[in-house]
């Protein structure tokens, strides 16, 4: 079934949606913190290798589910079929509160931040309204929420403008959103490939080498390898976005599993090569000390001076704009599917005359705009990654549940070497979650509390619908 959607997306566009949603600003920023945690170039490459393995195992596992349930809503539908309405609602609730809208806010805030390097008037330090200072709150030992500097800056206004612009344009038809996604994804893939080529082939300047661990930050090797996944997995996230728009994909039982294989493989291969280029040009010391953690900018600046910095800023603007478009498209389809099942605002189920869930897109845009006013890119990342991983784990585990509970269900795509890929994914993801619980509790409990807060909401509002 297609739930009223028009099937107009082919395999190429499905792959571009995944690739475009995965590549935002993270690959140009998070390697700095990863090196500061692990201390060496070898650690950085190994950490990204683990990210690639986990992401590809998860995406391959989702292929079976996509073949079984080729309808709009994707992961929400998989969870509902595996565990029932409550778990599906908790996923949708958390996705709306922080996972998808938080990613949209974070990516557009990065757009505003880098726009400021091209247009100095777009500042993140000058307030147009506010700020309202909310001090850091220690809610438990080792768990701190905040501080927040609530208010409107020119950079945040630019982020809000991008959210509203893309939501408005996408409301005039899915084909427009797909066209934007294809153009910007091809452009950002080309930009990333160019960065890699010049980084690996150009004459590299002398750079610092060796360990760069700051005093007091050393972690056991395996713990460090797992903890840094919060950055690299976030930078590789949203590969599941194509499942949300299954109702608009032609031959979804074939196209979605194919896109889930090809696009993550392409993006993660480029990510590994990009980190190799960073290491060749900057070395571990240069990566760890990059100003504002802008590793991509530092790399091109080292090679080409100020012109390189400007080129990188433009590339990141293209990258974040395209990523935001993919998030706008995918998230709205999830909330429409929730509403159609009585688990979201009823008006969000409505389709406009262009076959687009414009009301759902509007709810998403409004909440994401409010999140930008917090100005907290780091905490949006921290809170969302743990919550997202909980539902990735539940979804992959649902493969085993459905094979036992519904063995007669048609499975056009079956997992290769079953049950090894989902088992390996579950082991890796659970290890990552355990490491965060032990070593980075501030990253974990706030996100888990947001998930749990959905239970009374479901019982009070949605259980009887």
Domain assignment present for 361: yes
| Number of residues assigned to the chain | 465
pLDDT value at residue 211: 46
Q: Where are the alpha helices (DSSP H) in 406-419?
A: none
Tokens of 11: 């395999």
Residue 157 β-bridge partners = none
CB contact at 8 A, 298 and 208:
no
- Residue 360 domain-assigned (yes or no): yes
pLDDT tens-place values along the chain, 465 residues long: 446 788 888 999 999 999 999 998 889 999 999 999 988 899 999 999 999 999 999 999 999 998 888 887 889 999 999 999 999 999 999 999 888 998 899 899 889 988 988 888 888 888 888 788 777 777 666 666 667 778 889 999 999 999 999 999 999 988 898 999 999 999 999 999 999 999 998 876 655 444 454 444 568 889 999 999 988 998 898 899 889 988 889 888 889 999 999 999 999 999 999 999 999 999 998 999 888 888 999 999 988 888 988 899 899 999 999 999 999 999 999 999 999 989 999 999 999 999 899 999 999 999 999 988 886 656 666 677 888 999 999 999 999 999 999 998 888 888 988 999 999 999 999 999 999 888 888 778 778 888 999 999 999 887 776
Angle (nearest 5°) at CA 54 between 425 and 433: 70
3-state SS assignment for residue 19? helix
Does 6 map to a domain?
no
C-beta separation of 161 from 186 below 8 A: no
What would the two tokens of residue 137 be?
Answer: 């709150």
Q: Is residue 1 part of a domain?
A: no
Tell me which residue range forms the domain holding 124. 11-462
The reply to whether 3 falls in a domain is no
Q: What is the pTM of this model?
A: 0.90
Give CA–CA dist 258/42, Å, rounded. 32
Distance, CA of 221 to CA of 309 (rounded, Å): 34
Contact 324, 162 (CB under 8 A): yes
Query: How many angstroms separate the CA atoms of 131 and 187, rounded?
Result: 36
**Domain-embedded: residue 2:** no
On whether the CB atoms of residues 241 and 330 are closer than 8 A, the answer is yes
CA distance 31 to 47: 10
CA Rg value for the chain? 21
Cα distances (Å, whole numbers) of residue 385 to 86, 227, 432: 21, 11, 11
| CB contact at 8 A, 357 and 52 | no
Nearest CA to 158 among 317, 335, 267, 41? 317
Do the beta carbons of residue 126 and residue 153 sit within 8 Å?
yes
Domain membership of residue 72 (yes or no) is yes
In a domain, 402, yes or no: yes
Return the DSSP state at 353: T
Which SS3 state, helix, strand or coil, does residue 126 take? coil
- Angle formed by the axes of helices 85-94 and 75-83, nearest 10°: 150
Number of domains in the chain: 1
Residue with tokens 């990253």: 443
Would you call 434 helix, strand, or coil by DSSP? helix
**Rounded to an integer, what distance in angstroms lies between the CA atom of residue 267 and that of residue 281?**
21
Buried/exposed code over 427-458 (b: 16+ C-beta within 10 A; e: otherwise): ebbebbbebbeebbebbbbbbbebbeebeeeb
Structure-block tokens of residue 260: 């889930």
Which CATH number does the domain housing residue 317 bear?
Answer: 1.20.1740.10
- Taking CA atoms, 229 is separated from 52, 220, 326, 433, 453, in Å, by 10, 15, 23, 10, 26
| Whole-number Å distance between alpha carbons of 205 and 276 | 15
* Sequence-separated (6 or more) residues with CB below 8 Å from residue 42: none
The helix, strand and coil proportions of the chain, stated in percent and rounded to the nearest 5, come to: 70, 5, 25
Cα–Cα distance between 201 and 423 in angstroms, integer?
Answer: 39
d(CA 377, CA 248): 32
DSSP for residue 146: -
Question: 192, exposed or middle or buried, with CB in 10 Å at 0-12, 13-18, 19+?
Answer: buried
CB neighbourhood size of 306 (10 A): 9
């Amino acid at each position: 079934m297609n739930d009223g959607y028009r099937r107009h997306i082919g395999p190429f566009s499905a792959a571009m949606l995944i690739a475009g949603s995965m590549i935002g600003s993270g690959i140009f920023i998070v390697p700095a913190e990863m090196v500061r945690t692990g201390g060496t170039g070898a650690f950085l490459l190994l950490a990204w290798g683990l990210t690639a393995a986990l992401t590809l195992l998860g995406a391959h596992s989702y292929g079976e589910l996509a073949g079984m349930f080729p309808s709009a809503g994707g992961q929400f539908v998989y969870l509902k079929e595996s565990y029932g309405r409550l778990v599906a609602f908790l996923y949708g609730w958390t996705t709306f509160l922080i996972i998808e809208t938080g990613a949209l806010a974070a990516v557009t805030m990065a757009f505003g931040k880098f726009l400021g390097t091209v247009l100095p008037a777009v500042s993140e330090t000058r307030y147009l309204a506010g700020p309202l200072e909310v001090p850091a709150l220690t809610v438990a030992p080792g768990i701190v929420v905040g501080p927040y500097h609530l208010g409107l800056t020119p950079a945040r206004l630019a982020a809000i403008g991008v959210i509203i612009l893309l939501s408005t344009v996408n409301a005039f038809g899915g084909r427009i959103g797909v066209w934007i996604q294809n153009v910007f994804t091809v452009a950002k893939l080309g930009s990333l490939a160019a960065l890699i080529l010049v980084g690996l082939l150009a004459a590299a300047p002398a750079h610092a080498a060796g360990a760069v661990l700051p005093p007091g930050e050393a972690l056991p090797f395996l713990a460090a390898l797992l903890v840094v996944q919060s950055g690299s997995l976030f930078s590789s996230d949203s590969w599941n976005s194509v499942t949300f728009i299954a109702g608009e994909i032609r031959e979804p039982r074939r196209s979605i599993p194919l896109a889930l294989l090809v696009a993550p493989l392409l993006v993660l291969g480029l990510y590994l090569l990009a980190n190799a280029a960073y290491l060749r040009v900057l070395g571990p010391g240069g990566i760890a000390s990059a100003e504002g953690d802008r590793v991509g900018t530092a790399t091109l600046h080292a090679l080409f001076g100020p012109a390189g910095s400007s080129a990188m800023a433009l590339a990141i603007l293209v990258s974040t704009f395209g990523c935001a478009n993919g998030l706008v498209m995918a998230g709205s389809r999830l909330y429409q599917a929730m509403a159609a099942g009585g688990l979201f605002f009823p008006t969000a189920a409505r389709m406009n005359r262009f076959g687009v869930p414009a009301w759902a897109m509007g709810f998403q845009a409004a909440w994401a705009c409010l999140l930008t006013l917090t100005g907290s890119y780091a905490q949006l990342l921290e809170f969302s990654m743990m919550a997202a991983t909980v539902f990735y784990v539940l979804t992959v585990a649902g493969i085993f549940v459905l094979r036992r509970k519904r063995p007669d269900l048609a499975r056009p795509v079956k997992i290769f070497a079953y049950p090894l890929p989902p088992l390996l994914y579950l082991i890796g993801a659970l290890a990552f979650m355990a490491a965060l619980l032990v070593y980075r509790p501030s990253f974990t409990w706030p996100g888990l509390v947001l998930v749990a807060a959905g239970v009374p909401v479901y019982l009070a509002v949605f259980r009887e619908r």
